[in-house]
């Protein structure tokens, strides 16, 4: 069992989530973040912290979630660990699905790593 980050994080990347994770299992990309599924202890603390509502448990399992679980698994092995909050990306609020942005952001996903701490 794990939590995962889905496409709602893309181009927002608020990073409120990283500060509350007790096992530091977030890994940062250029425009999003992922959770390492084998390190996550399934505590659920991060889910309500995300202003974009991008974090969900894998018990929600549907096709979209399965896709994002694989993304989380793959890129958490490659990207740098993130434990400290950073400024959100510049257009975070205007691209936030929880604030009314309606387009699917899946294709905006960048495979590039984010900044090291
Ligand atoms: Fe970290 Fe808990 Fe969120 Fe897993 S569910 S990523 S352990 S805060
Ligand atoms: Fe992304 Fe939400 Fe964390 S937007 S960086 S999952 S707080």
- All structural domains of the chain with their residue ranges: 3-84
pLDDT at 27 over 80: yes
The pTM of this model reads 0.97
Q: Is 117 in the pocket of ligand 1 (CB under 6 A)?
A: no
Backbone angles phi, psi at 49, to 5 degrees: -80, -20
Q: Are 93 and 99 in contact (CB under 8 A)?
A: yes
Which ligand has the nearest atom to the CA of 84?
A: 2
> Is the pLDDT at 90 greater than 90, yes or no?
yes
Would you say 16 and 50 are in contact if contact means Cβ atoms under 8 Å apart? yes
Average pLDDT estimate for 30-35: 98
In this predicted structure, what is the pLDDT of residue 62? 83
Which CATH class name applies to 3-84? alpha beta
Mean pLDDT within 53-82: 94
Q: What is the mean pLDDT of residues 67-73?
A: 97
**Cα(41) to centroid of ligand 1, in Å?**
6
Residues 6+ apart with CB under 8 A from 74: none
**pLDDT band at residue 18 under the 50/70/90 scheme:** very high
Cα 107 to chain centroid distance, Å, stands at 15
Rounded mean pLDDT of 6-22? 98
Question: Are 50 and 114 a contacting pair, CB within 8 Å?
Answer: no
């Amino acid at each position: 069992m794990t939590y995962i980050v889905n496409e709602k994080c893309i181009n927002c990347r608020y990073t409120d989530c990283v500060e509350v994770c007790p096992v530091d299992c977030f890994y940062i990309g250029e425009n999003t973040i992922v959770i390492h599924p084998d390190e996550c202890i399934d505590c659920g603390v991060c889910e309500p912290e995300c202003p974009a509502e991008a974090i969900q448990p894998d018990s929600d399992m549907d096709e979209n979630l399965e896709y994002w679980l694989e993304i989380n698994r793959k890129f958490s092995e490659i990207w740098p660990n993130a434990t400290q909050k950073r400024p959100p990306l510049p257009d975070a609020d205007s691209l936030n699905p929880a604030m009314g942005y309606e387009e699917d952001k899946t294709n905006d996903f960048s495979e590039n790593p984010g900044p090291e701490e």
